Every structure is written in structure tokens, then in C-alpha cells.
Chain A
Amino acid sequence: MLTFIARRCLVMVPTLFAISVVAFLIIQLPPGDYLTTMVTRLEAEGQQVDEAMLAGLRDRYGLGRPVHEQYLAWMSGIVHGDFGQSFEYGTSVSSLIADRLPLSIVLTVSTLLATWLIAFPIGLYSAVRQYSPGDYLATTIGFLGLAVPNFLIALGLMYVMHTVFGYSVGGLFSPEYRDAPWSLAKVGDLAAHLWIPIVVLGTAGTAGLIRILRANVLDEVRKPYVVAARARGVPERRLVFKYPLRVALNPFISTVGWVLPALLSGEVIVASVLNLPTTGPLLLGALRSQDMYLAGSIILIVSVLTVVGTLLSDVLLARLDPRVRLGHR
């Protein structure tokens, strides 16, 4: 098990490196660099440019030096917790992200859990009662869930809530808690608001998982070992729950690898439609205004988190599936 984890971590290194390079490229892509943009901005606002400060910054980011040195300067800053400065907000990127990242994580993780909780019984039912009306219903919903883009669900939900219930959807907190310090009441308020983004974000993933689970269980119940178990007198119910389900559960764990990136992707759009205080709208705003250090850092952090999440899911999978654990394909 330990060797498995060690091997898996080793594989992660090149991926992490590639991610950092891509994030760095995104920062570098727009014409000009951090300082020229800043100078233009300051001048546009009619402010004085402090030459000493400029020199300090130039030194800090290695601007004007070869690209790889700039990359190293940026990376070493990150290692020390310095992600650079945001023009838009005039503060450090790390403080901006620290503000919003926890909510992103809460949203993503709870959506993932909700996805599992809903997809599991439905997918199982669909497989065990293949071609029943319930199965057709679930399949239809599954198809629809995959076909409707996230933001359309958000828009539709907003519209319905607004016209039917006169309730305006959006945000993660009621106004009175927005800036309040954390308390039990604030957590409760968050939970009361969280379900809408969870529904919106989770639909596609749930639909996908239902389909995968159904197909897998159906595949699995036809395997010889299930027939063999039936032939030795294992009761039908146990036959489904003990054998195929164990194998069919794998995708729940292994798909974390693509569900997580998809959720974080979807979060960007959904959060900006629903106006949530998460990293998504921050990223969009940063991209629109070419606030590249902020944008690049968010992309970097979100991608790294995904990779770490995938690692965790792989470890979990190895615990569950002896074939993975014992290195058998």
C-alpha cells in the first residue's frame, strides 16, 4: 500500500510541473508584463509612479530577465506563499484566494457527496430493474442532465424561483451574515443557501454517474463469477449487493478524477451566474480585466487541488479494490 502511494505521488510530479508551466504561460500570454500594465493603469488614474517601488517589483518578479528565470522567481514566491499582486483589488493574490477558496472547496466537496448520494440508489435501481418505468425515467433524466449546460439550469432555476416563488436566488449567505464572523448560525445560513448551487452543479455529474453505475452493474451481473455465486445458492439480493456492487462502486471513486475537474470547471460558470463568493467569479473577473497574476494563481491552485483530489481517490480505490492495491491490471 505504501509503495503504491509513493509510486502514485511520483507520477504526480511531472503533472504538477506541467500545470505550473501552463499557469505561468497564461500569466505571460497577454502583451506587456505586470509592470507596464501597472504603470499604464496608474498613469490613467493620474497617479504618480514611484520609481523605487517599480525597481523593487522588477527585481521581485525577475522581469526583464529570461523567461525561465522569471518562472523560477514566480515559483519561489509561491513556495513562500506569495502569489503576486492583483491590480484589480490592489491586494495580494494570496489574501484574495484565501478568502474564497474555502467556500469553493465546501461547494465542490458537498456537490460531490450529493452526487454520490443521489446517483447511487438511482443507478442501482435502474440496473436491477432494467427496462422498468423507473429505469426509463432515470435514463431520461440522465440524458437530460447531460444535455443541459450548467448555467442553463441555473438560469432556469433562477427564473422559476423568481416568477413562481418571488424568491431571488443567488449568493451563499443572507445579507445579515455576509460579512459576519463565522458562527453556528452563519454555517446554518450557508447550508440553507448551498442547495441551489449544489443542484445546479451536480446535475451533470449525477446524470453521468447514474449512467456509469447502471452500465457497470449490468456488465458485472453477467460476469461468470456472479453466475457461479448464484449457482452455489447465494440469494439474489446478496448477489447484487455483495458482488457486482463492489466492482461497480469503483467508478464512484475513480471518476473523482474527472468529476472533480468538471465540478471545478462548472463552478466557474455557475458561481458567476448565481453570484457566489467563490473563486469562480474571481477568476472570470481577473481574466476579463487581464489581472493575470490573480488568474494564473487561481488556475494553478484549482488544478493542483484537482490533482491532489485525484490522488486521494486513487488511494481510496486501492483500499477498496485488491486488484489495484496488488498492482494487478
Chain B
Amino acid sequence: MSAASAVGDGPLLEIDGLKTQFFTREGTVRAVDGVSLSVPRGATVCVVGESGCGKSVTARSVLGLVDEPGRIVGGRIRWRPAGGDEVDLATLEPTSERMRRIRGGEISMVFQEPMASLSPMHTVGSQLVEAIRLHLPLGRAEARDRAVELLRRVGIPRPEARMEAYSFQLSGGMCQRVMIAIALACDPALLIADEPTTALDVTTQARIIDLLRDLQARSGMSVLFITHDLGVVAEIADEVVVMYLGTVVERGGVDEIFHDPKHPYTRALIGSVPRMGRGSRQRLTTIRGTVPHPSDRPAGCAFHPRCDVAVAGVCDRTDPPDAVVGPARTARCVLYDPVAVSASPPADGSGVTP
């Protein structure tokens, strides 16, 4: 995997204390509650976490695509395109022309349900050509040529014929390839892939992952990859961000995360995977309890009701700080907070090596 190459200054995308909330009739849902992460240039960053922890909402916040009644209420999303000015996407008007140019032009997104992400009323080709012409000054014929070329690049056989196909005539894997082609149409600097393979069968998943890895290596774009699948993470990630209930609990390089997980939640996740690698279909049952809904998030550390090493009187009261546990590594846990640890040493430190 290619390492972060230093073009320009600072990471390509830097999310800082992002808060996105849904104001529903039943109350406010704090879906994303202070997420910080960054995507270096040319790197692949994987976001993992259980269902409902706010991965999709984080990704959508970047492009201003949060559904009603949701809104970004705080934090910053710094976008630093090469040769362009830095913009804060969190405060950028979602309907503005700048945001429109970023969407699809600088940052592309691939979604979970490939079939539903294509309009059933228009051909694949027309949607692809539209994506090209929205951002590139090409004529109809040129755009069409480029579209066919893109379809070929994502491994679609007989691309000319496929231009006239409708989404419902293609398989899920084919649709996802089309979506990837659309995403790559204007050579974006960042590709956000929100569980692009979850809806597909296992062999197709593997092919799509290979395709994405291949494309990333060739184009040098950055990828923000959201997934449930630790096998995929091990395979493609440069850096890993672990999320729990709307917050980032740990981040670090892929090797560090897998070989030396710090946060009890990450440990539980990794520890529950007996053998790494794709295809080992084991059930993860070691984390007891279930994820609470974001609207009744436990006080203190949100993970404490499920945490094996929780410190009574601390974890259920105070928010753990984001402790730096190494170069470009943080873990959000009191065990790594020098102040808290000295004040009240862990009652059971057996499995903990700070």
C-alpha cells in the first residue's frame, strides 16, 4: 500500500470535532458526537465500528449530504485540494456552487446499495455521461468515449453495449462497478466508499475490493473506506479509525491497530477475530451487550457498560480524554490518561498494558 505522500501541506481531509445531530420529534439524536480523523494524501483510511455508530453520517457530513432533520452543529471539515484553497466543508452551504463542484469533482462517494443508487429510469450511460459533463468541459461525443473507457477500466465487459443498459438489467456487482466508474469520472482527489461491498456476495466483494485497491494504486487518490469487515481493513488500510457511538475511540496505523490495540473496544473487536483475512466467517460474540441507541448514550465513557476493564467511579462519570498513545495514534480511554490513572489506578489492570 502506498504511503502518505506529502503534496501540499497537511492532510488532504481533516475532520476536527465534527458533531452532526438529528432533530427528530422524539428528541435529538447525536449521531456523530465529536469525531476527529484525517485522511493523508494518497492514503487509504478505514473507518470501522458496529452498525449505528455514525460512520455513514460522518461520511455524508463531508459532502453536506446529511438527510433532514439532520444538521452539522459543530466541528470543522478541512478540505485541502492540491493547488486549491482550503475550505471548511462543515460550514459550506450544501447547495452552494463550490460544494456542487466538490461533489463528484474533487470528492466522490460510492454507496452501499449499488442497484438503488442508479436511477431506474435512465440508462447507465446517460448517468455516467452526466457525471462527466457536470465537471469536465467535454462535448457529448468526447464524454461518451470517456464513459466507455471508464466502464472498461472498472472491468465491465462489452462496455459499449452496457452504456444502454438500465440498472435493473445488471447484477449488483456490475452496478457497483458502474457506480465506481461514475465516482472516478472526473479523477477525484478523494473517494469515500461507504460499505461498497456489504450488499454483494462474497466473491463479488473480493473482486470489488481488488478493483478499488488497484484503482487507488494507479491513480494515487486518497480513499476513505467505511466497512464492517476487519479482513478488508487488514488488506487495504494504511490507517484505521475505530468508531463507537458517534465518537472515534482509537486511531492509528493498520499494523499498530491490529498488533497492539490500545482501546478496550478495539481489543474486543480484534480479539474476537481468531484468524485474520478475508473469508474467515466467524461470529463475533465476545463483546457482551449491545450498542445503545445514540439518544440514550451512557454517561461518561459510552463504552463503559460493555467494557471489561471499566474503572468504577471514573468511566461512568467523566468523559475519557483523547489520549495520545504514540506517533499519530490516539485512544479515547481513561487508562491512557496520565491524570486519571494516577488519581484512581485501575482496579483490574490484568489485561491492560498502557
Q: Which residues of A contact B (CB under 8 A)?
A: 222-225, 227-236, 242-243, 246-247, 321-323, 326, 328
Contact = CB atoms under 8 A, between A and B. Distances in A.
A216 B341 CA distance: 57
B66 to A, nearest CB: 10
A233 B105 contact: yes
Contacts of A247: 120-121
Tell me which of A230, A233, A235, A322 has the highest count of chain B C-beta atoms within 10 A of its own C-beta: A233
Interface stretch (B107-115, B252-260, B329-337): B107-115
Interface residues of B, number: 33
Of all A-B residue pairs in the complex, the 3 with the closest CB atoms, nearest first, are A232-B104, A233-B104, A228-B117
A247 B63 CA distance: 25
Contacts of A328: 168-169
Contact of A225 (B104, B105, B117): B117
Contact of B63 (A224, A231, A323): A231
B71 interface: no
B101 A222 contact: no
Interface in B97-146: 100-105, 108-109, 111, 113, 116-122, 127, 130-131, 134-135
Given A228-B179, A246-B121, A233 B168 contact: no
Contact of A323 (B67, B108, B120, B185): B120
Given A230-B103, A234-B130, A323-B166, 13 more contacts: A227-B111, A228-B111, A230-B65, A231-B108, A231-B111, A232-B131, A232-B134, A233-B100, A233-B101, A236-B95, A242-B122, A322-B121, A328-B168
B65 A229 contact: no
B45 interface: no
A232 B103 contact: yes
Q: Is chain A's interface secondary structure helix, strand, loop, or mixed overall? A: helix
Contacts of A242: 122
Given A228-B118, A233-B100, A222 B108 contact: no
A224 B100 contact: no
B69 to A, nearest CB: 11
A208 to B, nearest CB: 23
B269 interface: no
Nearest to B108: A232
Contacts of B104: 231-233
B183 interface: yes
A243 B104 CA distance: 17
B182 interface: yes
Contacts of A243: 119, 121-122
A234 B117 CA distance: 14
Contacts of B67: 222, 227
A232 B111 CA distance: 12
Contacts of A233: 100-105, 131, 134-135
A328 B121 CA distance: 12
11 contacts: A227-B111, A227-B117, A228-B118, A231-B63, A232-B103, A232-B131, A246-B122, A321-B121, A322-B166, A323-B120, A326-B169
Given A243-B121, A247-B121, A322-B166, A225 B109 contact: no
Interface in B174-227: 179, 182-183, 185
B134 A223 contact: no
A223 B116 contact: yes
A19 B130 CA distance: 49
B54 to A, nearest CB: 17
B100 A235 contact: yes
A326 B127 CA distance: 19
B166 A225 contact: no
A234 B121 contact: no
Given A232-B182, A236-B95, A326-B166, A224 B131 contact: no
Tell me which of A229, A232, A236 has the highest count of chain B C-beta atoms within 10 A of its own C-beta: A232
A242 B135 CA distance: 18
A176 B311 CA distance: 98
B174 to A, nearest CB: 15
A234 B185 CA distance: 13
Given A223-B116, A246-B121, A234 B134 contact: yes
